[in-house]
Amino acid sequence: MLNPYKPENAIITGIKRQTYDVKTYTLSFEKKRKDFSFRPGQFIMLSLFGIGEAPISLCSNPSDKETLAITVRNVGNVTKTLEGLSEGDVVGVRGSYGTSWPLEEVRNKNILIVAGGVGIASLRALIMYVANSRHDYRDVEILYGARKPDDLVFTDEFGHWASMKNTRLLLTVDAVPKGSPWPHNVGVVTTLFEKMQATPDNTVVLTCGPEIMMRFVVKGLIHRSFMEDQIFVSLERRMECGIGVCGHCQLGTKFVCKEGPVFRFPEVKGLPDSML
């Protein structure tokens, strides 16, 4: 019988520093797993024996069958320990779990991405997925914000994203420390709405970041005549099992690990213990 709690070993084959507290880890399963695949927006349970597990979004190109990647900010027990590991070290992986970004629904549509901080990780997987067959989608506009310039991740990919056909990238930070060069917008991510080209017409919105940010993103977009069901949000909750049993991620009637993390906004609107 399959033990869903037992992780598979994966070797860290690459580590790339993104910011002072964020790194991207490339993982490759010790034993090749033919059954492993994922859709952008899904997550894995990252497992470190003796420490525990944490749910982490996959950020790599889903068409890459050899490796997968996660971009992790070191803020908890598992992620802080992960930060100390090196290439060649082994971690455990369970998954992939949860819902994905609405890959079928965004075909032949404009895509508006609104991301905050390390929340862009699962959207980076989506951007790569879209780039794999760019002609299947219409205009892509990426609004990306962080607290400070040095909190932005995937900065070396910005040039590539912006150069993709019919793609715009708008950056913003909440504040710029004195002396830092910053040619872009200053203000929370919703201040970019004034500069964006996306309209409600034929557009799907995908947003991921702190819940308070998504609350104002949704509010701002509704104000700009977007409809609630055009908007998809990706939520964070405590998860211990990742498979809809342990209860920790419950949000009203939903289990975020199972019916989420990606939800169409009206599904989670007004639920208790949430800011949405």
Partner 1 sequence: MLPRILRKDETNLFVKGLLKKYRVLGPVKKDSEFWFDEIRFAEQLTFQYLTTIFPPAQFFFLPTETLFSYEKGLAMQNYERYDRKQLILGIHPCDVHGILVLDKYFLGTYEDPYYLRRRENTIIAALTCQEIGDKCFCESFGTGPDLKGNYDLLFTDLGDRYLVEVGSNAGKQIVQVANLAQATRDDFSEKAERMKRAKSKFKRKVNTENLPEIMLNNLMHDIWIELDKKELSCGNCSLACPTCFCFSIHDVVDLTLKGGRRWREWDSCQLLEYAEVAMGGNFRKLRGARCRHWMNCKLCYVKLRHGVFGCVGCGRCIRDCPVDIDITEVARRVRGE
What are 168's strand-pairing partners?
Answer: 141
Backbone φ and ψ for 251, nearest 5 degrees, come out as: -130, 100
Question: Which is closer to partner 1, CB of 97 or CB of 154?
Answer: 97
Q: Name the minimum Å distance from CB 215 to partner 1.
A: 13
Collect all residues with Cβ–Cβ distance below 8 Å to 176 and sequence separation of at least 6: 148, 149, 182, 186
Q: How far apart are CA 221 and CA 100, in angstroms?
A: 22
Q: Name the minimum Å distance from CB 5 to partner 1.
A: 4
Q: Name the minimum Å distance from CB 253 to partner 1.
A: 5
Q: How far apart are CA 177 and CA 150, in angstroms?
A: 10
Question: Which is closer to partner 1, CB of 55 or CB of 145?
Answer: 55
Question: Which is closer to partner 1, CB of 32 or CB of 135?
Answer: 32
Enumerate binding residues for partner 1 (CB under 8 A): 1-7, 9, 49-53, 75-76, 79, 90, 92, 236-238, 240-241, 243-248, 250-253, 258, 270, 272-274
Collect all residues with Cβ–Cβ distance below 8 Å to 66 and sequence separation of at least 6: 28
Nearest of 42, 93, 103, 99 to residue 254 by alpha carbon: 99
Backbone φ and ψ for 119, nearest 5 degrees, come out as: -60, -10
Question: Which is closer to partner 1, CB of 6 or CB of 178?
Answer: 6
Q: Name the minimum Å distance from CB 85 to partner 1.
A: 12
Nearest of 137, 200, 194, 192 to residue 170 by alpha carbon: 192
Q: Name the minimum Å distance from CB 241 to partner 1.
A: 7
Question: Which is closer to partner 1, CB of 90 or CB of 175?
Answer: 90
